[in-house]
Chain A
Amino acid sequence: MLKNRIIPCLDVKNGRIVKGINFVELKDAGDPVEQAKIYSDGGADEICFLDITASNENRETIIDIVRKTAKECFVPLTVGGGVRTIKNITDLLLAGADKVSINTAAVKNVDFVKEASKKFGSQCIVVAIDAKKVSDNKWEVFTHGGRNKTGIDAVEFAKKVEENGAGEILLTSMDKDGTKSGYDVDLLKTITNSTNIPVIASGGVGTLDHLYDGIVKGGASAVLAASIFHYGEYKIKDAKEYLNSKNVSVRL
């Protein structure tokens, strides 16, 4: 039976891990390579790097981090942030990433998702959707780390990226991110029910119960969390043991 994945996420800015509250205020939480190794040794099912500043000048920094991490961690490595061109993807994959996550560039031009999945295979193309609630059961896609409104409906967009070859969706609730009040379960449920590719839940985890909700109530195939793991509140192992005790199948 396929196990539900626990994915610690490392938000990286200028080579250091940071974690923001609602995408803005940033705290420093350490060295990404070291932290990735701790997660992988602790049983993380996958590791995600999000380069949250990702201007063209500092692309080398994230590539270097990926390169170092990939030599020590032998679990899948997903990297996102500022992925705009086929060359960006090639560089990350050559450095040792297994998947890349595309956000703004996918919204601007969905053909980029198609082109990328055709070239590299759907298995390595994740589309990151940042969604914000606009009314009852309605969510809108935001870009540029949550700064720009697009007017695009999140559900329609999720279906569209699936049609265009995305292998997975990384779904972040902008309302919940950094709040520690749990995932937006309604958003998750709506997206997992309207697509046939795996959805990774993101944004809002504060307790282990929230991970449970993401999988069981939201239908996510994987749950992503940042701060609860960074600041040592919980270890990956705690999360897995907790889920296992509630009959959610995980890799122990």
Chain B
Amino acid sequence: MNVTIVDYQSGNISSVINSFTEVAKGKVNLEVTSDIKKIKSSDKIVLPGQGSFKSCVDSLKSINGLVDTLKEFAITKKNPLLGICVGLQMFADVGYEQAETKGLGWIPGKVSKINNQKGKFKLPHIGWNEIEIQKESKIFKDIKNKSHMYFVHSYEFIPEDKSVISATTDYSSKIVCSVEKDNLFGTQFHPEKSDKIGLKIIDNFIKL
């Protein structure tokens, strides 16, 4: 099996590479690339994302044919794809970080700044927070409710259809921190930085 981490110059993806390498050892073939051909021929895709919504969308678009290839992979052919952090946020129709920016439009919804209740909650939301599982998700196999995951973000994904939400976390309000819609998976937290429990989520995705 081929798992591809999409390297589209979206900031620091070393940690994603390190943890997937650790989990994939001896199980699957891992590629880190922006090569369209390789992406097309892979079985699963990981879409990381760091920095702002706008900068990630701009970087994706700057690689010729990448957005269409990803769409064909995940939407037309319904192959498994995992978005992490801004990788997940980009599933939305629109994001408001830096400037109003069109997203990939794969899951209807928007990405807006966390309402921190006039400074009552510090932003970014940095650190370990508990996830509250809202529905069964394939990537949560053997993951206990209220497990701790590592977060670092100031914006949240608000999907229109709440049934896609697989977990939330409590920070000023119930923030969507994981989604599953058919073959599309996304986590707002960083499984690659969430210790052994995070590696388990990666393992679950790899084993799908």
Which residue in B50, B122, B170 is a CB contact (below 8 Å) of A1?
B170
A interface secondary structure, majority: loop
B201 → A minimal CB distance (Å): 11
Q: Which residue of A lies closest to B49 (CB)?
A: A121
Please, which residues of chain B bring their CB within 8 A of the CB of A96? 14-15, 18
Judged by a CB distance under 8 angstroms, whether B1 is at the interface is no
> A2-B171, A74-B193 known; A123 and B14 CB under 8 Å?
no
> A1-B170, A2-B127, A251-B128 known; A93 and B14 CB under 8 Å?
yes
> A74-B192, A123-B152 known; A198 and B127 CB under 8 Å?
yes
CB-contacts of A211-225 with B (<8 A): 221-222
Q: Number of residues in A with C-beta < 8 Å to the partner?
A: 33
> A1-B129, A123-B152 known; A70 and B15 CB under 8 Å?
yes
Judged by a CB distance under 8 angstroms, whether A26 is at the interface is no
B23 → A minimal CB distance (Å): 10
> A3-B129, A74-B193, A75-B195 known; A196 and B119 CB under 8 Å?
yes
Which residue in B126, B129, B192, B193 is a CB contact (below 8 Å) of A168?
B126
A70 to B119 alpha-carbon distance, docked (Å): 33
Q: Number of residues in B with C-beta < 8 Å to the partner?
A: 38
Which residue in B52, B116, B171 is a CB contact (below 8 Å) of A121?
B52
Judged by a CB distance under 8 angstroms, whether A147 is at the interface is no
Please, which residues of chain B bring their CB within 8 A of the CB of A8? none
Please, which residues of chain B bring their CB within 8 A of the CB of A93? 11-12, 14
A244 to B10 alpha-carbon distance, docked (Å): 38
Instruction: Say whether A221 contacts B122, CB under 8 Å.
Output: yes
Instruction: Say whether A2 contacts B125, CB under 8 Å.
Output: yes
Instruction: Say whether A5 contacts B11, CB under 8 Å.
Output: no
Q: Which residue of A lies closest to B153 (CB)?
A: A123
A96 to B19 alpha-carbon distance, docked (Å): 10
Instruction: Say whether A124 contacts B12, CB under 8 Å.
Output: yes
A44 to B91 alpha-carbon distance, docked (Å): 32
Please, which residues of chain A bring their CB within 8 A of the CB of B128? 2-3, 5, 45, 251
Instruction: Say whether B193 contacts A76, CB under 8 Å.
Output: yes
A138 to B19 alpha-carbon distance, docked (Å): 44
Instruction: Say whether A167 contacts B127, CB under 8 Å.
Output: no
Which residue in A74, A120, A198, A251 is a CB contact (below 8 Å) of B11?
A120
Judged by a CB distance under 8 angstroms, whether A64 is at the interface is no
> Using an 8 Å CB-CB cutoff, how does the interface string of A88-129 with B read, 1 for contact, 0 for none?
000001111110000000000000000000011111100000
Please, which residues of chain A bring their CB within 8 A of the CB of B12? 93-94, 97-98, 120, 124
B168 → A minimal CB distance (Å): 12
Judged by a CB distance under 8 angstroms, whether A243 is at the interface is no
Please, which residues of chain A bring their CB within 8 A of the CB of B22? 71, 74
Please, which residues of chain B bring their CB within 8 A of the CB of A40? 195
A251 to B198 alpha-carbon distance, docked (Å): 14
A210 → B minimal CB distance (Å): 20
Q: Which residues of B contact A (CB under 8 A)?
A: 11-12, 14-15, 18-19, 21-22, 50-52, 55, 116, 119, 122-130, 148, 150-154, 170-171, 192-196, 198-199
Can you list 6 A-B pairs with a CB-CB distance of less than 8 A?
A: A2-B127, A70-B14, A75-B195, A119-B51, A121-B50, A197-B124
9 further contact pairs, Cβ within 8 A, besides A5-B128, A124-B50, A198-B122: A2-B151, A40-B195, A74-B18, A76-B152, A121-B50, A123-B124, A167-B152, A196-B122, A221-B126
Q: What are the 3 closest A-B residue pairs judged by CB atoms, nearest first?
A: A121-B51, A93-B12, A251-B128
